[in-house]
Every structure is written in structure tokens, then in C-alpha cells.
Structure 1
Amino acid sequence: MTHVDLPVRALAAEILLAVENGQSLSQCLPPRLAGVAPSERPELQALCYGTCRWFHRLDAELQQRMKKPLRKPDRVVHHLMLVALFQLRHSQHAHYAILNETVEACRALDKPHLTGLVNGVLRAAEREGEPAVSGPAAQYSHPDWMVEKLRHNWPDTWQQILTANNAQAPMTLRVNASQISRDDYLQWLQDAGLEATPTRYAPYGIQLTKPCGVDRLPGFADGAVSVQDEAAQLCTTLLDLAPGQHVLDACAAPGGKTCAILEQCPDLAAVTAIDQSADRLPRVQENLDRLGLYATLKEADAADTSQWWDRTPFDRILADVPCSASGVIRRHPDIKLLRREADITPLAGLQLSILSALWQTLKPGGRLVYATCSVFPQENHRIIQRFLKQQADARLLEPVLSWGIDTGFGRQLLPDAESHDGFFYACLERVDE
């Protein structure tokens, strides 16, 4: 049986094994989705995302129920049982169907010798219900190191952060203010039978009560609106954009912020968007095309200015740097399996090097906004603290804001189960020496 012919839950088990071996869902899920019937795609996606979201809790239960771990060649069956446990604990599927279909999927994966084990483990799980799990890592379904880091960094709110990470993220829109007002677009949504409310902090943001396909959004194809989290939208409120400015969006893919900058101030002199990933730049162009916008796109390493900078200084720079993505786990639950504690220090080094390199391209009197979708201080306010010590012509700007936690070196938004993702922003001005 080819993998395309496999039952959905067997495919999900193979995808989860690939995630465990270091591939992200965004890498390994799309080709598999393309290979199944359109009617099966939502289920395959839900199984992969849901099992990743609850992986550490489900894994703790499965380990309790197994006398010994499976051999490495049979590891896919471990993931198959996790998928079944996810459905038993978090779905409305009939239990007998979950059990029968999982045993069949075990055969389809060419592991008939394990059908008895799978059947026995899952029948016990159904009969006995979810066991008590020990420790916050299993309770909140996060890796141990992440729980400890959050508990250390955010002693008063670590539990809320973990809970928010396990919530389904809302669908948030950014209205194209150069086309339509937020109030008028809210009316369009109401006329289309879609319930929505304005976002609390982002001036052009709208949050849908229930997610829907973009094909149902009025004017989407014509560029009236884009999908973007509220926290990510706030970058334009900090850049202080004005007509005639030259603006750089570093690390730009997939282009949401590039487009937001151009919508916010259509009379900018020029916008340059760079990204290291050749694979992701076409997505930036697609977004620009749909919105009828123009920017100069360059495939380049932001930290190596000799590759891409023509020596014309920028008035404004958005440095949305690579990070642990610990603030967007609810959108990318595979981060819990992929990220390691050992990743954070090298990331911090990369962030500081990008910031230092970009600084040289900023005009005196210009403004740079540093951003991450991380909740770890090591990647956020401590980077700004280190940078200000080494850069004599840098000054921290502290705009009066109604959102986020003032860290002393920028504003930290923690993920909110009801609204925005976790994000960090700091505004820096280059002082004319």
C-alpha cells in the first residue's frame, strides 16, 4: 500500500513521526494533504495539529499504559496510538470506530504483529478514562524545559501562558485602510452572516467569532482584507510612517507586515523586503499582488548587508527577527516537539547580530522597530539591553501604549487565549552624533 492509499490516521502517524524526527508540520503536512481526497484533508490536519498540541500529555498516558517502549522500527505505531488517544480524549468520534479504525490502520502500516497490543492499550484507555498525570509538563502538555523556563521568566503568569498555548487561536483580520474603513468592513461581514468584533489594540484589526475559509470573506480576492494576528499588526503603529520615507522590512516572509506597512502609508518613497528563504519569497509576492501593492523583494541574509544594501540609508526599519516562536505555539503546536532549550542561546546571538548589522543601514534620526513572536526575555528585552550597551548612537523610545508589559527595554505581549499571540516590540532611534 502506498502512503497515498493509507487511511487518514495512518498518514497522521507517519507525519507525527516525521515531526519527531525534526520536520515541521508546515514542511511535511502539505504534500500529504495534496495526496488525499479533499473531503479527508480537514480531518488529517485536525489529527496532526491536535495530537501535537496535546502530545506531552497523551505521551505521558501512553507510557503509563505500555510495559515497555516499542522498538525503533515500530515507532510509527506509538504515534498511531497517540492519534487514537487524542481522538478518545478530545473529539466527538464514536469510541468503537476509533478503536476499530486504529487497528485497521496498524495493519495498513504493515505492522499486523502489533494489532493485539494496539487493541489492548486502547480498550483499556477507553474503559478506564484519562488517568491522573503527574507534573506540569504532562498536565499542561509542554516539554519540561519550556515549563521551567516560563515558570522562571513569568512566575505570576506561566500557567496562563501554557493554557493560552493550548487554546485554538482565533482568526483575526487586518482591514486594508486604503480601501475601506474598519466599521464598513464589519458591516460587510455582518451582511455576509459572519459575526466579528473590532480588536482591542490594533486599529485595523477584526476578530471573527468563528474561523472561516478566506473565500467567505467579502472582498478578500480584491485586497480589502488580510488574515493577520492582532499582535503582528501592531508593528505599523510603532514605525511612525510618513510619506516619502524609505522603509526596510527585514526577515519579511510571508509578507503580512510588508503589506501592512504599504497599506498604512501608500505614499512611502520605497519599501524593500528581504528574506533569506527563496522558498518563502514567492508568498510575499502573492500577498503584494492580491493587495495591488509594490515592494522590492530581495533574497538575502539580513545580517550580511554586503549582499543586499546599496548604501542608501533607510528612514524606518522593521526587524522581525528569527526566534523560538514561543509566542505562537497555539498556531504551531509542533514547536513543542521541535524546539530545544539549546536553541535559545544561538538564536539570541543571531538576533543581536542581525540588529547590529541593520543598525548600520539606518539613517541618523531614523527609527528601527525590533520584533519577535517570542515570550522569552533572552530573545527580547535582554537583546535590547545588550545592544544599547554596545551602540552609543542608539536610544530607546518609549511610546505611550495601552498594551503589553513594560519590560524596561520594550513591550511584551503574552499570548491571550481570547485574542492576540505572544509578541515583543522595542523602538530604537539612531541619534545623530
Structure 2
Amino acid sequence: MSAVRLVSLIDVETRVLNAASRTELAFITVNETHALSPYRLAILWSAGKGVEAVSGLAQADPNAPFVQWLERVFPILAGAHAEPSAVTAADLPAELAGQWSEWLPSQGLVLPWPGAVLLLAREDSWSEPERQLTARLVRAVAVAWRNFDRPSPWARLRRRGWSGQRALVTAAAAAIIAGAVPVTDSVLAPAEMVPAQPAVVRAPLEGVVDKIEVSPNQHVAEGQPLFSLDPTTLSGKLEVARRELATAQAEYRQAAQAQVFDPKAKSQVAILLGRNEEKQAEVDWLQGQLDRIRVRSPRDGVVVLDDPSDWPGRPVAVGERVMLVADETDTEVEAWLPVSDAGQATPGAKLTLFLNTAPLSPVRAAVRTVAYETTTRPDGTLAYRVRAGLSDAGHKPRLGLKGTARIDGDRVALAWWLFRRPVTAVRQMLGI
């Protein structure tokens, strides 16, 4: 064996073992083997697919007369030769041997391995070193071939005696058993940490918001100004009331002095005194309202407010909520349950919150309330509001953290857990 052929053998073996697909392996086998033993034509045939590759062709046409003839020849060669062997037309039946010279050179070399045969053909006979070289290469091809010719799981079962009916019955039984396994029914819902007992700051009277004096998440002390209403209307009414009070007081003093000399003025004193008291009460009331337009914090805590810039200039009604002041650590879970899963959450159910900031440290809670009607969320979807109190009173995540809540329900069969929604959708579609 010359050094050149040995290097060629190593190179082709490496390419064979590194082939990425069965098609690439077949192409290398019929074309690159020429470096070891020159030939005019190489054909690769497999028991499953027939003629898979022909040297010099990108793809063999299965309807070509040449390929049709090869499909009849190769089963005979595969059955007659289990080891590398030289073949000629004399090794074929008479009806096939007569066409050998039409399609192939006179000398052939059959290189079989389980499930496939490689045929090399040329005019010269094959020497023993050439047979050994090509046989060595074919062993490497057989190893790579097995990697791409592994039977499917279904085929392996059939080889072990599993008939279609038996496999179907076994699979059905396994599915029934698996479907009866009890699992905990659960639903997922977006959730966040909200204040448990916040102080609601409302508009004390009807008016227009003039200024927001705090920012979201700001710590405030009790009595600190939060926002104020526009004082223009009340200031104008108070000024008018004060002038009317001054007029009423002047009229009262004049009547009180005149009653000494004029008996008719004495009857007017009581009327003017009542008017004077009425105007004084109106001034006191307007002054009290004006003192209330600057709203102060009812407690220490954190301001819960969306966007301060949305409030200035907005009219508010008496009692309308403007913001919250809450204890940052006195929190609970608020989840939004989809309408389709409304029945899966009940008071007392276990809730596990996986925070976005700490997904590996779930927060345990118990459902406290479930709203009986849906609420429109900011994204336009309808959902039921769920409130849950934290189980660990010593560990309360801060206000505003968001995550996903898993609400556990009753124990149900795995089949019901998997097919509950499809069954519901089918019933709604069919009306049954």
C-alpha cells in the first residue's frame, strides 16, 4: 500500500465519519472512493430506498431505464455476496446479463454492508490491494451509515413483536392511567403588591385641583400638605360675604342708636340683628371652606399616586379620591383573575406570588376576597379583582412590586386539568 493511497484512505475516512447527513455520506462514497481505486462508475444502493447515488450525478432519476435495470440487479448482488467480491455479467441471470455491457464496464466490485451495497465498475480487473483499501473504507461507511439508518421507535417496537393493535391498546391504557393521576388545579394571574390598609385622601369639597404638592412614592408625615384646590371662587364669595356683613353691621348699629328717639326703629333692631348673624355665619362658613382647600396627610406613609401632572386643572367632586397614603410595609397581594378562570379562586385558597424582581423567592398568601363582578383593567380587558393576605407577617415585600400569582384550587384528575378549556370552548361553540 503506497503512502499516497494511505493518506487518501485517511482523508476519505475522515470525510465519511464527519458527514452531516445521509445524502452527503452517499455522495462522498460514490465520488471520493475514486482516490483509492480508480473506476468509471460507482453506484450506491440500499434495501430501503433503492439506488441512492450514482457517481457524477447530482440525483439519479428513478424512471430512467438504467436505474430501472439496476433496481433488478442489486437485490441479486446483495443476496449473493456478503463480502467484498469481484463480479461480472456472468454472475447475473441471462435476462439481466445481456444488458450489462450496455450500462456498465466489464469488471465490477461489490462492497456490501448491512442494508446497502456499493458497486464499482471499470474495464480493468481489481487487484487485491485495491479490494483491501475499498473494503477498509466501506467499514467506515457502514459505521456512519448506521447513524443515519436507525429505525424509528415504532419500527423498533415492531421488531420486538409489538403489533399495531397491541401498541394502540397499551398506549390507550397508559393514557387512561395517566389521566386519572390527581393534580392540583391552578390558574395564573398578573398580580402586584398593594397597600393593605391605606388612608384614602379625597377632595374635601367641589372644585378644581390647583396644585399637587407631593410626588409618587414620596414619604410624608402626618399633617404635611398634599394638594390644594383653586381658591378663586371661594375667595370671591368670601369677599362678597364680608362686605355684606359690614353693611348689615352698619345698619344694625344705626337702628340701635335710632331706637332711643324713634319708636319705629325699635321694631327693626331684631330683624337687622338676625340678618347680621346670618351674614356672620356665611362668612365663617366660607372661611372654613377656604381653610379646607389645602389638604394635608392624615398619617405618616408613602404617597400612592399615578401621575401628578394629570391633576392640576381637573374638576373634582366632593369625596372623589385623589391619592392614597399607605404604610410601605403593610402590603397584601392584588391579582386580576381572567374571566375564563373565575371559578378557580375561592376565599381561603392558597396563592403563590412569583415577583419579577425575585422569582426564586415566592411569596405565600391566602385569598381573602374575590370580587363578584368584573372590573375593566387599564389594558381594556375584564378581570376579577382578588385580594390575598400574606401568610408570613414578618416578610412583606414593599409596595408596587409586580409578578405572577398562582392560585391553587381543588385536586382534580390530570385529564380534566388538560382538557377543561378545550371542552369549555367546544361547548360554547356548539351550544351544548
TM-score normalised by structure 1 residue count: 0.19
- Name the larger-Rg structure: 2
Which of 1 and 2 has higher RCO (CA within 8 Å, sep 6+)? 2
Give the strand-richer structure, 1 or 2: 2
